[in-house]
Amino acid sequence: MSSRILLVCAAGLAPLGCRAPVPEVTRHAPIEIAPVESAFANVDMVFEARALGGSVQIAFGEGAEAGRVAVVQRCFSEARRIERTFSVWSEDSELARWNADRVAGARPVSRELADGVALALAFGAKSGGAFDPTVAVLLRRLGFYEQVEAAPIGADELAELRTRVGFEHVRVVPGAGAAPPSLARDVAGVELDLSGMAKGLAVDRIAEMLAEAGFENAFVTVGRSSLFALGDEPGGRGWAVRVPVPGGGVEIWRLRDEGLATSGRLAFEVTAGGLPTSHIVDPATGRPTGSRTELAIVRGPSACEADMAATALVALGPEAARAWFSSGVLGPGRTARIVAGDDRRIETWSSGPNEAR
């Protein structure tokens, strides 16, 4: 386990569902991380497995130890099942099969995929389109999925590609009676990429499973970019994560029953025309974002929501992001921190009334 596991940074981003082999679950003692300022500092065991393109880790706070291994195994199986539903990196995933279909019209899908897409589309509308899962066609053209250098996109080609971008081109059609729901595209060739929410979705689901199994204190992270803190660490002060502060260094945010996610402009680069290019596409222009926001961190009641919000903040750029997030559109109890500009200034915003941090 990396000694930087809880240093919240863009380097934690990993592609959803990459084809690395999935080893057996491993258990090991956590590596020491700065005296008491780490979520794992007082934890005697970390459970870890590969899924969703990265490391899925679960740690437990105080409470009964009976049944931990069994519930962890179920949680890791759930993470891999979510990967098989939402991955854009595996041709065998349900979402990849829907993308490959390409024809306009509706196709039956599982209720889980339909619910996930509905969540993403709703957040797309809430963000004014800053979060848009239909940018997949642009990411594919940029070589993101194949990890190959792509030629720059010309104006005419971009205009054609943009006819297939826009969350309004996709809708979820409820099934009648016992029939499954359908996922419809009104323009041929529209594709979806749910990487901006799938890790958070898995984190939230694992936290829910742990709570249902009677574990009140646990910490879940996927890929170091999405996490949920359930209850307290063994020290009883909330689970500690480190975030950057102005002038360098870090401060501690202590989370209780909260999710947190990060997104970075160049956290996962593709190359176009010989230059590093952001994997986050601005839906308003159809091009990789030129946002001056280097890193966004969001905390709130859901890791999945935080995932989507962090992506939107990077795409919007600092000024528009500040106005959107501070408007309270997400409701109270959310906090965002960004690192932006050539001077790497740090700003922290509230979505509404918050407890003292």
Instruction: Classify 230 as helix, strand or coil.
Output: strand
Cα gap 41→191, rounded to integer Å: 42
- The conformation of residue 284, written as its DSSP 8-state character, comes to T
Helix (H) or strand (E) segment spanning residue 218: strand 218-222
Residues 337 and 346: beta-carbon distance below 8 Å: yes
Q: Are strands 170-173 and 54-60 parallel, antiparallel or unpaired?
A: unpaired
Residues 6+ apart with CB under 8 A from 148: none
Interacting residues of 178 by C-beta distance below 8 A, sequence separation 6+: none
What is the pTM (predicted TM-score) of this model? Answer: 0.82
Please give the chain's pLDDT, 357 residues, in tens.
Answer: 333 233 333 333 222 333 223 334 444 333 222 222 355 566 767 888 888 888 899 988 876 577 888 999 999 999 999 999 999 888 899 999 999 998 999 999 999 999 999 999 999 999 999 999 998 888 788 777 666 666 777 888 888 888 888 899 999 999 888 889 999 999 999 999 998 899 999 999 999 999 999 999 999 998 878 999 999 888 788 898 888 777 677 788 899 999 999 887 544 344 334 444 455 676 666 666 556 777 889 999 999 999 999 999 988 888 999 999 999 999 999 999 988 876 777 889 988 654 434
- Cα separation, 217 vs 347, whole angstroms: 30
- Residue 300 token pair: 């709130």
For residues 75 and 130, give the distance between their C-alpha atoms in angstroms, rounded to a whole number. Answer: 31
Residue type, 221: T
